[in-house]
């Protein structure tokens, strides 16, 4: 099993997760609704933290729930946890073994809050301290860099959101995600060819907004982990507030710009990058205008709705990171300095 094969497993894993955990998500949603939760408090690290960024937008936009990302050091080193009254407290961790994330849920239960774990290890310490568990069922992920567990976390969040809203159209769209992912993976060979022109890059910026703010962070993380590139993620709005000054002709910029509520400002940004800065722009999108502006266009299926686009957009991003790592002469299955499970306190 390699990183590449785990990237390609994702449609099947997502299809299975939806089939196995749909009813669990509905039961969890019903229990949560009885508790009159007013907001979500979410603890995660690394890739799982990027899934939390998706939850921030999705639970806010689809369910009217404000979300706060936890600062676990307040629970461990400072011993000053915040008051969590009326919160649903969620811990996201692929391994479920990070003590600082566990400490957040332990404190939440002490304060009487409902707790939910999203993990690939239902027998883990994190699952053991939660009232509810959504297990990803991704199977063992052998590659150090997370791929199928990340999209599993996104799907688990989407399942929870849809179960809370009860919207039938959303359930139908969830059923189509695996198919959209399969279509995105058909570009594997073309992505491998396209990355040849980026053999020498050592720094880049990654832009996203709205639901795909998470995708920008995860795409940047994969290039840091695998090919050791300085990759800085930004909201396209925040990028205008200073960081845009670093741009010069030929600077590589990656943009995630599917159609949706934030497409118009993203398209405006891409046009500015191309025409005003002559930047080297890579674009993931399902819109012809955005793709036409890119030096390297990475298309996804045209009918992917914005709220589910992070599950599809990340696949060409993962392939890009994988193939770039290979052409730089690094081993994508054994990145330096990091290990599969990181237990922070």
Active-site hit among 85, 142, 169, 340: 340
Nearest C-alpha neighbor of 138 from the set 42, 222, 47: 47
CA distance 198 to 322: 13
φ/ψ region of 59 (left if φ > 0, alpha if ψ in -120 to 50, else beta) reads alpha
Q: Which DSSP letter does residue 20 get?
A: H
Does 340 participate in catalysis according to the annotation? yes
Contact 208, 237 (CB under 8 A): no
Q: For residue range 295-340, list pLDDT tens digits in order.
A: 999 999 999 999 999 999 999 999 999 999 999 999 999 888 766 5
φ/ψ region of 324 (left if φ > 0, alpha if ψ in -120 to 50, else beta) reads alpha
> Phi and psi for 197 in degrees, rounded to 5?
-75, -10
pLDDT of residue 228: 96
Q: What is the pTM of this model?
A: 0.96
Helix 148-165 × helix 309-327 angle, to 10°: 170
User: SS3 of 296, please?
Assistant: strand
Q: Which helix (H) or strand (E) holds 308?
A: none
The percent of residues above 90 in pLDDT, for the chain, comes to: 95
Domains of the chain: 3-175 (3.40.50.10490), 188-327 (3.40.50.10490)
Q: Where are the alpha helices (DSSP H) in the chain?
A: 3-34, 46-63, 73-76, 99-110, 125-128, 148-165, 168-174, 177-185, 188-194, 213-227, 236-239, 263-275, 288-292, 309-327
Q: For residue range 188-210, list pLDDT tens digits in order.
A: 999 999 999 999 999 999 999 99
């Amino acid at each position: 099993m390699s990183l590449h094969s785990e990237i390609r497993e994702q449609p099947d894993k997502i299809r299975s997760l939806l089939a196995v955990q749909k009813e669990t998500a509905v039961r969890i949603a019903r229990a949560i609704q009885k508790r009159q939760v007013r907001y979500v408090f979410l603890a995660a690290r690394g890739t799982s933290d990027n899934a939390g960024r998706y939850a921030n937008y999705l639970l806010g936009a689809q369910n009217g729930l404000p979300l706060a990302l936890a600062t676990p050091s307040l629970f461990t080193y400072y011993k000053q946890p915040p008051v969590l009254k009326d919160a649903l407290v969620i811990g996201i961790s692929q391994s479920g073994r990070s003590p600082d994330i566990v400490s957040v849920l332990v404190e939440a239960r002490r304060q009487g809050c409902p707790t939910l774990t999203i993990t690939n290890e239902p027998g883990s310490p994190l699952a053991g301290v939660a009232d509810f568990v959504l297990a990803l069922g991704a199977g063992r992920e052998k590659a150090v860099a997370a791929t199928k567990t990340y999209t599993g976390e996104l799907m688990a969040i989407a399942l929870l959101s849809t179960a809370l809203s009860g919207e039938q159209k959303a359930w139908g769209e969830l059923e189509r995600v695996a198919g959209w992912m399969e279509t995105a993976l058909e570009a594997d060979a073309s992505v491998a060819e396209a990355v040849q022109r980026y053999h020498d890059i050592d720094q880049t910026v990654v832009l996203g907004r709205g639901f795909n703010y998470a995708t920008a962070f995860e795409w940047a993380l994969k290039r840091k982990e695998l090919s050791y590139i300085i990759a800085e993620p930004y909201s396209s709005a925040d990028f205008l507030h200073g960081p845009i000054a670093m741009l010069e002709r030929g600077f590589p910029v990656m943009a995630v710009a599917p159609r949706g509520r934030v497409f118009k400002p993203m398209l405006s940004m891409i046009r500015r990058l191309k025409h005003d800065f002559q930047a080297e722009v890579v674009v993931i999108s399902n819109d012809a205008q955005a793709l036409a502006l890119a030096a390297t266009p990475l298309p996804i299926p045209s009918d992917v709705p914005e709220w589910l686009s992070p599950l599809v957009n990340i696949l060409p991003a993962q392939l890009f990171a994988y193939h770039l790592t290979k052409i730089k002469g690094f081993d994508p299955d054994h990145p330096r300095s990091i290990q599969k499970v990181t237990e922070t306190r």
